[in-house]
């Protein structure tokens, strides 16, 4: 069984106290209020006054009803009406009803029936009893002393509100006396209900408090474990980002910090490796360049001095001179590549619009065969049959860049994509001027703290096993490559305070993603930390990565 930790127990106790203390205070306060209200409302004088009030109301209603009975007696006692009804004089009965009816405002209807219960005459007020606001009271009176006398039926209207109020007040008074009689039981029931509520709240709070506290402590423990792993040097650890509270913000900030630390470490290690490779390239260039000219001159001198007529030896000398000059030329180009790599200039950053930058690049690099970079030569007829598109953003997309150096990055990446497409295409397609053998797309997008430039192609792509080394100096998959192009690209991007990745492209080939900071201060800070770290830390023996 898992034993809760101290933080978990404290959080659960805090939640329990937060829930129970207000409930206990409310229970005591309610108990006091109930006792006070009970002593006020169940006062005997209150009950007596209520009984008196209902009795008065009953007397009032009884007086109304008695009045209507007296009115019926008065109508039935009219001598003219009685005599007319007894002699069944319909005209006289109706005339007398016309005289009597207006005298009694509460009357609704008056009916006179003969001894055989046949109607002689009737009068009404012109509208029936309104059940919503009135109640009817019917009174029957005989109009003679005979065994079967004529009958008078009078219907009166009583205000319904009075009777309804009497009934409601009577019900309230009855309920009051019932509550007064069962006050002790009611009080005990309230106490039991509060006690049950308190117990249920206690159990629910314990469970909920434990669950909530466990959720908080679990996330804290995950964060602590991740920090321990980071302290041991593991920068690949991440904590789950769940919820929407301060711990969520802390987890998100922690992950972002570790990501930046990993990127910073990668920059430092890359700059260490690049620095070592640049130093080695400089030495190699110096050591190789010096003997090239004497070797070439010596062979040329031997070829020139031979005056013999031996055709076989002359052919040998010609072949030797041709081979030596060709290989010396290759070594000179290699020395030039080494020298250019060793003398990479530092970037000069300035906040610029990527929209304008890409528009300039799209105009200047629309035909790679017309483009050249000092020290790297021209791309003769390289982009033939390859469609290069530039997706220039509508918004400015500010980023800290060195326009000349970043242009060099784009040229290198676009050139690599074009070369990869052409190398993978059949010979007939490469030489045909009418067909398009591939596509390259350059696009700029905004990201959280800067911008990215993506270079996509539909070529063969970069194998997944080679992606971890693609930017390493002298790593290449080409038969005639030096492996310096992408190393130079990454060096420039790192000097921008950014990063570069290679993944699979939606077009089916390779996608290179260049990340650039938004502000110059941010870029210079990252680049400076990387350079300082590369100087202060010992050189890592791990390999790094290039496609060129």
220-230 confidence digits (pLDDT tens):
888 888 888 88
pLDDT score, position 40: 61
Rounded-to-integer distance, Cα 483 and Cα 475, Å:
5
- SS3 string, 317-361, reads HHHHHHHHHHHHHHHHHHHHHHHHHHCCCCCCCEEEEHHHHHHHH
pLDDT score, position 375: 41
Which of the four pLDDT bands, split at 50, 70 and 90, describes residue 545?
Answer: very low
Q: What is the pLDDT of residues 146-179, one digit of tens each?
A: 878 889 998 888 887 777 777 777 777 777 666 6
Which of the four pLDDT bands, split at 50, 70 and 90, describes residue 342?
Answer: low
Q: What six digits make up the tokens of 164?
A: 């309804």
CB-hemisphere CA count at 13 Å for 305?
6
CB 379 within 8 A of CB 366: no
Higher per-residue pLDDT: 339 or 248: 248
Higher per-residue pLDDT: 86 or 33: 86
- For the cut 90, the answer to whether the pLDDT of residue 406 exceeds it is yes
Beta bridge partners of 512: 455, 502
The region of weakest confidence among 126-140, 153-167, 199-213, 349-363 is: 199-213
> How much of the chain exceeds pLDDT 70, in percent?
78
Beta bridge partners of 450: 447, 517
Q: What are phi and psi of 500, to 5 degrees?
A: -140, 140
Which of the four pLDDT bands, split at 50, 70 and 90, describes residue 353?
Answer: very high
> How much of the chain exceeds pLDDT 90, in percent?
12
The residue-averaged pLDDT of 455-475 equals: 88
What radius of gyration do the chain's Cα atoms show?
A: 54
- For the cut 80, the answer to whether the pLDDT of residue 542 exceeds it is no
Average pLDDT, the chain: 79
CATH number of 45-180: 3.30.450
Which CB contacts under 8 angstroms, 24+ apart, belong to 265-268? Answer: 265/235, 265/533, 266/499, 267/494, 267/499, 267/526, 267/527, 267/529, 267/530, 267/533, 268/529, 268/530, 268/533, 268/534, 268/537
pLDDT score, position 203: 78
The residue-averaged pLDDT of 108-122 equals: 87
pLDDT score, position 540: 45
Residues contacting residue 252 through CB under 8 Å, at least 6 positions apart: 241
The region of weakest confidence among 5-14, 249-258, 286-295 is: 5-14
CB 417 within 8 A of CB 437: no
Residues contacting residue 160 through CB under 8 Å, at least 6 positions apart: 131, 132, 133, 134, 135
pLDDT score, position 309: 77
Q: What six digits make up the tokens of 408?
A: 């060099």
- For the cut 90, the answer to whether the pLDDT of residue 516 exceeds it is yes
Closest listed residue to residue 423, CA positions, set 481, 368, 473, 496: 481
Higher per-residue pLDDT: 545 or 135: 135
pLDDT score, position 189: 73
- SS3 string, 490-513, reads HHHHHHCCCEEEEEECCCCCEEEE
pLDDT score, position 5: 59
Higher per-residue pLDDT: 133 or 22: 133
- For the cut 90, the answer to whether the pLDDT of residue 452 exceeds it is yes
Rounded-to-integer distance, Cα 389 and Cα 496, Å:
25
Overall fold of domain 260-536: Heat Shock Protein 90 (3.30.565)
The region of weakest confidence among 160-169, 417-426, 481-490 is: 160-169
Rounded-to-integer distance, Cα 444 and Cα 233, Å:
34
- For the cut 90, the answer to whether the pLDDT of residue 370 exceeds it is no
The residue-averaged pLDDT of 301-317 equals: 81
Which of the four pLDDT bands, split at 50, 70 and 90, describes residue 356?
Answer: very high
pLDDT score, position 358: 92
CB 440 within 8 A of CB 387: yes
Q: Which of 114-128, 138-152, 324-338, 349-363 has the highest mean pLDDT?
A: 349-363
- For the cut 70, the answer to whether the pLDDT of residue 183 exceeds it is no
- For the cut 60, the answer to whether the pLDDT of residue 313 exceeds it is yes
- For the cut 80, the answer to whether the pLDDT of residue 111 exceeds it is yes
Higher per-residue pLDDT: 371 or 426: 426
pLDDT score, position 165: 76
Mark residue 389 as left, alpha or beta (left: phi above 0; alpha: psi -120 to 50; beta: remaining): beta
Integer angstrom CA distances of residue 102 from 107, 110, 123, 124, 274: 8, 11, 10, 10, 121
Which of the four pLDDT bands, split at 50, 70 and 90, describes residue 384?
Answer: low
Q: Which of 274-283, 352-361, 477-486 has the highest mean pLDDT?
A: 352-361
Higher per-residue pLDDT: 426 or 316: 316
pTM for the model? 0.54
Q: Which of 50-54, 386-390, 538-542 has the highest mean pLDDT?
A: 386-390
The residue-averaged pLDDT of 312-316 equals: 84
Q: What is the pLDDT of residues 76-89, one digit of tens each?
A: 888 888 888 888 88
Integer angstrom CA distances of residue 319 from 326, 330, 332, 352, 449: 11, 16, 20, 55, 60
Rounded-to-integer distance, Cα 57 and Cα 55, Å:
5
The region of weakest confidence among 275-279, 329-333, 367-371, 494-498 is: 367-371
pLDDT score, position 509: 93
- SS3 string, 359-380, reads HHHHHHCCCHHHCEECCCEECC
- For the cut 80, the answer to whether the pLDDT of residue 33 exceeds it is no
DSSP assigned state of 538: P
Domain boundaries, the chain: 6-41+182-222, 45-180, 260-536
Which of the four pLDDT bands, split at 50, 70 and 90, describes residue 376?
Answer: very low
Rounded-to-integer distance, Cα 385 and Cα 433, Å:
6
- For the cut 80, the answer to whether the pLDDT of residue 49 exceeds it is no
CB-hemisphere CA count at 13 Å for 282?
8
Q: What is the pLDDT of residues 522-541, one digit of tens each?
A: 888 887 877 777 666 555 43
């Amino acid at each position: 069984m898992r034993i809760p930790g101290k933080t978990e127990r404290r959080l659960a106790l805090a939640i329990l106290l937060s829930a129970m203390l207000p409930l206990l205070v409310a229970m005591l306060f309610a108990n006091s209020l109930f006792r006070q209200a009970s002593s006020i409302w169940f006062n005997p004088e209150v009950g007596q006054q209520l009984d008196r009030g209902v009795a008065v109301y009953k007397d009032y209603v009884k007086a109304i009803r008695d009045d209507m009975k007296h009115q019926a007696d008065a109508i039935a006692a009219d001598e003219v009406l009685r005599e007319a009804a007894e002699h069944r004089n319909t005209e006289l009965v109706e005339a007398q009803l016309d005289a009597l009816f207006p005298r009694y405002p509460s009357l609704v209807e008056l009916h006179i029936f003969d001894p055989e219960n046949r109607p002689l005459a009737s009068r009404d007020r012109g509208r029936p009893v309104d059940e919503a606001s009135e109640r009817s009271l019917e009174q029957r009176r005989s109009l003679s002393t005979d065994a079967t006398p004529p009958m008078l039926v009078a219907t009166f209207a009583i205000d319904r509100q009075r009777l309804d109020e009497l009934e409601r007040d009577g019900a309230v008074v009855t309920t009051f006396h019932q509550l007064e009689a069962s006050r002790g039981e009611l009080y005990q029931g309230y106490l039991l209900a509060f006690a049950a509520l308190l117990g249920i709240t206690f159990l629910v709070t314990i469970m909920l408090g434990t669950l909530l506290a466990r959720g908080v402590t679990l996330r804290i423990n995950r964060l602590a474990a991740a920090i321990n792993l980071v302290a041991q040097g593991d920068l690949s650890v991440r904590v789950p980002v769940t919820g929407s509270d301060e711990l969520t913000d802390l987890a998100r900030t922690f992950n972002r910090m570790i990501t930046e630390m990993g990127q910073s470490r990668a920059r430092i290690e890359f700059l260490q490796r690049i620095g070592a490779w640049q130093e080695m390239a400089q030495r190699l260039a110096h050591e190789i360049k010096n003997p090239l000219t004497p070797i070439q001159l010596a062979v040329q001198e031997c070829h020139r001095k031979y005056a013999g007529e031996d055709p076989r030896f002359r052919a040998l000398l010609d072949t030797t001179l041709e081979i030596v000059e060709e290989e010396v030329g290759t070594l000179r180009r290699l020395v030039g590549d080494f020298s250019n790599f060793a003398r990479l200039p530092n970037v000069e950053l300035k906040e610029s619009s990527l929209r304008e930058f890409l528009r300039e690049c799209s105009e200047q690099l629309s035909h790679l065969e017309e483009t050249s970079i000092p020290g790297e030569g021209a791309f003769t007829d390289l982009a033939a049959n390859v469609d290069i598109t530039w997706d220039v953003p509508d918004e400015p997309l500010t980023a800290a860049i060195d326009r000349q150096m970043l242009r060099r990055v784009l040229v290198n990446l676009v050139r690599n994509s074009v070369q990869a497409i052409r190398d993978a295409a059949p010979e007939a397609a490469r030489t045909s001027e009418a067909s398009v053998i591939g596509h390259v797309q350059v696009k700029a997008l905004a990201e959280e703290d800067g911008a990215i430039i993506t270079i996509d192609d539909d070529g063969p792509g970069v194998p997944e096993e080679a992606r971890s080394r693609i930017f390493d100096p002298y790593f290449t998959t080409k038969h005639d490559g030096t492996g310096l192009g992408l190393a130079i690209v990454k060096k420039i991007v790192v000097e921008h305070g950014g990063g570069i990745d290679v993944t699979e492209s939606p077009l089916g080939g390779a996608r290179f993603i260049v990340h650039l900071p938004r502000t110059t201060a941010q870029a210079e800070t990252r680049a400076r930390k990387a350079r300082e770290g590369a100087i202060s830390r010992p050189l890592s023996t791990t390999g790094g990565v290039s496609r060129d």
